[in-house]
C-alpha cells in the first residue's frame, strides 16, 4: 500500500545541510493503522510529507498503491494525491468558511457538481458527529470539533489513505481519546489505511497495528505494535 525504500532527505546544501531522513524503509499494509513514533526533530514530519510528495526525497523510492510516486507526471501526481487525505496538528481550517464550506472545499477543487457536494458534506458531517454544526465557523468550535472537521474534509474525496501529522497533539487527553476512537472507527468502517506520526506512546498503544520508531532520521525499530510494546 505504502512503501518507502531507502528514502533519504537532506535540507539545504553545503555547510547548511541538515539530514532529516537516512535510508528509511518501511511498509504499510492495506487497512492497517501504522504509527511512526519519535521525538521532536526525529524526522517524522519529513517522512510523512515524503509520502504525498509535499516534500521530495533526496534519494530512495516511494510507492503508493504500487505507483512509483517520484516518476509520476504532474497530472498523475495530482490524481494520486486525491487518494491520500491528510490531517494536521493545528487543523489548518479556513477560518472564513463555515464547517460545511471547509468540508466542501476539496470537492469544489475537484469539480464535483453542487448537489453531490451538498449530499457528501451532509454524509461526512454525520460520520464525524457534527451534523448540527454545518453553518458554524471554526472559531465557534472546540479543538476536538475542529479536528473532526479536518477529518471530514480529508475524507471528502474518498481517499484510501489518511496521513495524520500529530493530529491529537494539540488536544487534551479526553478529546484525544475521542478523536483516536473516530480514527479507529473510520479505519474499520471504510477500510481506510492510516499512516500517523506522533511523539506520544499512548497514541501508538491505543490505535496502532504496526509501528516504526524513528531516531535522528533512522528507523531503529519496526514491527507489530503488540510485539514492540510488550517488550520490557
Ligand atoms: P519531527 O517531525 O520529528 O519533529 P522534522 O521532520 O520536522 O522532525 O525535522 C527533522 C529535521 O529536519 C530537524 O532537524 C529539522 O530542523 C529539519 N528540517 C525540517 N524541515 C526543514 C526545512 N524545511 N529546512 C531545513 N531543515 C528542516
Ligand atoms: P462558505 O460560506 O463557508 O463557503 P457555503 O455556504 O458557500 O459555505 O457552502 C459551501 C458548500 O457547503 C456548498 O457546496 C454547500 O453545498 C455545502 N453546504 C452548505 N451548507 C450545508 C449544509 N447545511 N449541509 C450540507 N452541505 C452544506
Residue with the smallest CA separation from ligand 2 atom 15 is 118
Q: Rounded to whole angstroms, how far apart are CA atoms 26 and 153? A: 27
Q: How confident is the model at residue 228 (pLDDT cuts 50, 70, 90)?
A: confident
The pLDDT of residue 48 is: 98
Place of cell 479505519: 187
Query: Residue 107 CA: which ligand 2 atom is closest?
Result: 14
Tell me the average pLDDT across 165-183.
96
State yes or no: ipTM above 0.95: no
Closest atom of ligand 1 to CA, residue 45: 2
Ligand 1 atom with minimal separation from the 40 CA: 4
Which one of the ligands is nearest to 20 CA? 1
The share of the chain scoring above pLDDT 70, in percent, equals 99
Would the CB of 100 count as within 6 Å of ligand 2? yes
The span from the CA of 101 to the CA of 78, in Å, is 22
Residue 232: the pLDDT is 56
Residue (of 182, 133, 188) closest to 154 by Cα position: 182
* In the chain, % of residues over pLDDT 90: 97
Cα 199 to ligand 1 centre (Å): 14
What pLDDT sits at residue 106?
Answer: 95
Q: Are 47 and 56 within 8 A, CB to CB?
A: no
How remote is the CA of residue 190 from the centroid of ligand 1, in Å?
32
pLDDT digits (tens, 9 = 90+) for 78-135: 999 999 999 999 999 999 999 999 999 999 999 999 999 999 999 999 999 999 999 9
> If you measure from the C-alpha of residue 200 to the centroid of ligand 2, how many angstroms do you get, rounded to a whole number?
35
Amino acid at each position: 500500500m505504502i512503501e518507502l525504500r531507502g528514502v533519504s532527505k537532506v535540507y539545504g546544501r553545503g555547510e547548511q545541510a541538515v539530514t532529516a531522513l537516512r535510508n528509511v524503509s518501511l511498509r504499510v499494509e492495506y487497512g492497517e493503522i501504522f504509527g511512526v513514533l519519535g521525538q521532536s526533530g526525529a524526522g517524522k514530519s519529513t517522512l510523512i510529507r515524503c509520502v504525498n510528495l509535499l516534500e521530495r526525497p533526496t534519494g530512495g523510492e516511494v510507492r503508493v498503491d504500487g505507483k512509483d510516486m517520484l516518476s509520476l507526471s504532474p497530472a498523475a501526481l495530482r490524481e494520486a494525491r486525491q487518494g491520500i487525505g491528510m490531517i494536521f496538528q493545528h487543523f489548518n481550517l479556513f477560518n472564513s468558511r463555515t464547517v460545511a464550506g471547509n468540508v466542501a472545499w476539496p470537492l469544489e477543487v475537484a469539480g464535483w457538481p453542487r448537489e453531490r457536494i451538498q449530499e457528501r458534506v451532509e454524509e461526512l458531517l454525520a460520520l464525524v458527529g457534527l451534523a448540527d454544526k454545518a453553518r458554524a465557523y471554526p472559531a465557534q468550535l472546540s479543538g476536538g470539533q475542529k479536528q473532526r472537521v479536518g477529518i471530514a474534509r480529508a475524507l471528502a474525496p474518498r481517499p484510501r489513505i489518511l496521513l495524520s501529522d500529530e493530529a491529537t497533539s494539540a488536544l487534551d487527553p479526553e478529546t484525544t481519546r475521542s478523536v483516536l476512537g473516530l480514527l479507529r472507527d473510520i479505519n474499520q468502517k471504510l477500510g481506510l489505511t492510516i499512516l500517523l506520526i506522533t511523539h506520544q506512546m499512548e497514541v501508538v498503544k491505543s490505535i496502532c497495528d504496526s509501528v516504526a520508531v524513528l531516531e535522528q532520521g533512522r528507523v531503529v525499530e519496526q514491527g507489530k505494535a503488540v510485539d514492540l510494546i510488550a517488550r520490557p
